[in-house]
Every structure is written in C-alpha cells, then in structure tokens.
C-alpha cells in the first residue's frame, strides 16, 4: 500500500481555479469527464428557474413561457449540430440518448448492431443486450471502415461508432462509415458527446450530445434523430411522443446557451503538455499519437507505475486529471479502450488522461509538468515493477 504521505504533499481543499487561505491553487485538467458550467449557461439556468417556473406542457402563461424557452434551446442545440429543431429529442444525458438510439432503432428481425471495441459503456452495454458485432480497432484507436462493412449482415439495423474517443481523443472516419451505412441501407448512430465543441459534428442518422461536456449542466442531453425512432420508455407524450417525462426546462435552456457559446480549441497547449512530459520524464509514451485527435485530449503511459496513485499525487498538488473514463472510476479492471489498442492489462493501468479546457493556460500546463515529474520519480522508486 502506498500512503498519501509517500506520494507527496498534504491534502488541501480549495476552489477550482481559485485559492482559499491555506489551500493550494487548483487547476482542472479533466474536461472530458465534465466541464465547469459557463457563465452564459449558469445565467440562463438561474434566470429560467426564477422567471419561468412553469411546466412546458401547461397551457397557462407560466407554462407557455417555459415552452418558449424550451423551443429556443431546441433551436440552439439544432444549430450547433447542423440539424432541424424538430429532430432534437431532449434526454436526461448522453447515456439515455445512446440507449434510445440503439433500442429505438431495432425492429423484429433486425436486431443486429455493429459497433467498435472502444465505445463508451453507454453504447457497449446496450449493444450487448441486442445482437452485437464488436469490431476491433488498430493500435492508434482507429476503426477500419472496411471492417465495419464486413460486419454488416442482412439483419443489421444500426452501426454505432463514436465520433471522438473519450480516453484517447482519436477522431473516427465517420464520413467513410456514413457512406457505407447508406450503401447498405443501415442506420448510422454516432456518440458525439466528445465531438461537440471540438470538431464539427459528423453527419449521421442519429447523434448523441450532452450538455455537461460543453460547459452546460449535468443531467441534460439530446438525441438528434434524423430518422424515426421508437420510444423505449413509456408515459406521457412529451418530446413529440418520443421521450416521455416532464422536460428539465432550466437545464435544457442552459444547454442551449452553452451550445450558442461554442468555440473550437487549438492543439497548442496539448502539444506543449505532451512535449514537456516526453522531454522531462523518461519511459513515457502518448497513446494514439499517430491518429487524428481532438485538440484538448492526450493519454500518456508511464512505465512501472499505476495511474491511480498518480491521480492522487497530482490531486494533492492541486491538479485534477484522470486515469480513465469517469464512468469507470473505482473499477479494478483496466481501461477497455487501452487494452483494445494493444496495451497489456498492466500497461493499461499505467496511463493518465489529460483533457484541457477553456480555463487552462500555458502557465498551468508548465506547473502541471513541474508537479508531475517528482510524483512520477517518487512512485517509481516505490514500485517493484519499475527497474
């Protein structure tokens, strides 16, 4: 067991990007897990809670005010993904949207789904409840479109391939895959949760997006449905009879405000972070480095030490990073994404993901590397696996 004192530093709890008396200055490098809510989204959220408390299905003035704000947000989300407003189905998050896409697309006699080995569990787990073919990826985390083509069967209802991998940042060849899907008359779904706000959202029949990945609130998402989908939960006739339940109007309004405030990042800080780590810390490697990647994400392997003690060591020094997907936090299993690209189980446990966001600066990146270097050195001294 490695003690907190051995990792280095005493725990000080402070505010993100701020400092309390006696607390360390904290910097956030885990934006792929969730983003802090933006000022625009927070203002829209609080104003809606105060000024439009009605149920959007009610016909009185309060209800109609809520309805108007809901529909404005629908137009904002649609514009952000290049869709029509009536194609936007609001959900409780990306996981629900993925489930609606998969289960809402299959039909009797057509329950086969093609997906990839590096999808988020919100796609992989529903797919495994159906008849699924899981297509492997290469060592850079990219799927071969021809492998998708070969997996299609007469009973295939849907292809589901994520736009951007949440752990590696790799960008999948959705244009080629979309053409293959159209050629075979099969629907294409893409989990674009990590794409929105980073790259143009690829064209697909069904697209999943989530508010808390784009500086909106948690607990709000949407499925963009350019084709009919069957509802998978039952109740009222909300969302044009596609997703029952009273809409989270304030959260949706904040989602719309976040979508109206999107801007793409640049790879400068990501590249600076990678180059500094590779130059200063020996026996490290960038996973998926040769593939097209979004500008904010890097995943690095550190030989001989496990990722979770590294996460703790950096947290003690004021830096929030991740050893994998947030939904898998606490799991004893290594990342399925990293093993899918060929890492051993041991090596997959020796990786960190850094995901940058709007608030990060060059100074924070350099401070992160300055903190990381001694933590890695100390853990390697304690590790029997590092020789």
Structure tokens at 213: 């990945």
CA 296 – CA 272 distance, rounded (Å) = 11
Is residue 273 within a helix (H) or strand (E), and if so which, with residue range? Answer: helix 268-280
Question: Would you state the structure tokens that stand for residue 140, as one six-digit string?
Answer: 């850079």
C-beta of residue 172 within 8 angstroms of C-beta of residue 164: yes
Burial of 356: CB neighbours in 10 Å, binned 0-12, 13-18, 19+: buried
Structure tokens at 310: 């590294």
Q: What is the DSSP letter of 104?
A: T
Question: How far, in Å, CA of 4 to CA of 273, rounded?
Answer: 25
- H or E stretch covering 213: none
SS3 call for 208:
strand
Check residue 20 and give left, alpha or beta (phi > 0: left; psi -120 to 50: alpha): beta
Q: Is 306 helix (H, G, I), strand (E, B) or coil?
A: coil
Can you tell me the distance from the alpha carbon of 349 to that of 327, in angstroms, rounded to the nearest whole number? Answer: 16
Please say whether the beta carbons of 105 and 324 come within 8 A. Answer: no
Non-local (6+) Cβ contacts of 368 within 8 A are 27, 29, 273, 314, 319, 321, 354
- DSSP tally for the chain: helices H, then strands E: 14, 12
What secondary structure does DSSP assign to 32-73, as a single string? TT--PPPHHHHHHHHHHHHH--S-TT--SHHHHHHHHHHHHH
* Annotation says 351 is catalytic: no
Distances (CA, A) of 38 to 160, 211, 214, 238: 30, 11, 9, 28
Largest CA distance in the chain: 72
Angle between helix axes 362-382 and 268-280 (nearest 10 degrees) is 30
Query: Which residues are known to be catalytic?
Result: 327
């Amino acid at each position: 067991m490695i003690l907190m004192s051995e990792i280095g530093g005493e725990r000080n709890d402070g505010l993100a990007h701020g400092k309390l008396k006696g607390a360390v200055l904290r910097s956030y490098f885990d934006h792929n897990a969730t983003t802090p809510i933006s000022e625009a989204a927070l203002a829209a959220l609080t104003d809606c809670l105060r000024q439009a408390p009605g149920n959007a299905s009610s016909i009185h003035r309060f209800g109609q005010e809520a309805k108007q704000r809901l529909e404005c947000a629908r137009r904002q989300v649609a514009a952000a993904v290049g869709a029509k407003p009536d194609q936007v189905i609001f959900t409780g998050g990306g996981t629900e949207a993925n489930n609606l896409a998969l289960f809402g697309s299959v039909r009797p006699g057509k329950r086969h789904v093609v997906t990839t080995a590096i999808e988020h569990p919100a796609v992989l787990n529903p797919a495994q409840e159906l008849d699924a073919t899981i297509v492997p990826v290469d060592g850079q985390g990219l799927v071969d479109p021809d492998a998708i083509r070969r997996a299609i069967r007469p009973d295939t209802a849907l292809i589901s391939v994520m736009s951007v991998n949440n752990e590696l940042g790799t960008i999948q060849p959705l244009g080629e895959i979309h053409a293959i899907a159209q050629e075979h008359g099969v629907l294409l779904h893409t989990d674009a949760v990590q794409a929105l706000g980073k790259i143009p959202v690829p064209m697909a029949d069904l697209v999943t997006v989530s508010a808390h990945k784009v500086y909106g609130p948690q607990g709000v998402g949407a499925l963009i449905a350019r084709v009919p989908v069957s509802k998978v939960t039952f109740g009222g006739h909300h969302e044009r009879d596609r997703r029952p339940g009273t809409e989270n109007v304030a959260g949706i309004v904040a989602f719309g405000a976040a979508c109206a405030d999107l801007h793409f990042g640049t790879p400068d800080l990501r590249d600076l972070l990678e180059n500094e780590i590779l130059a200063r810390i020996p026996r490290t490697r960038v996973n998926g480095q040769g593939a097209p990647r979004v500008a904010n994400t890097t995943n690095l392997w550190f030989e001989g030490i496990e990722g979770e003690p590294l996460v703790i060591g950096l947290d003690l020094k004021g830096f929030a990073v991740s050893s994998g997907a947030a939904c898998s936090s606490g799991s004893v299993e290594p990342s399925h994404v990293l093993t899918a690209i060929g890492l051993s189980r041991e090596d997959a446990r020796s990786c960190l993901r850094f995901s940058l966001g709007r608030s990060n600066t060059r100074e924070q990146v350099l401070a992160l590397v300055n903190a990381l270097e001694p933590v890695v050195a100390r853990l390697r001294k304690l590790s029997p696996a590092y020789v």
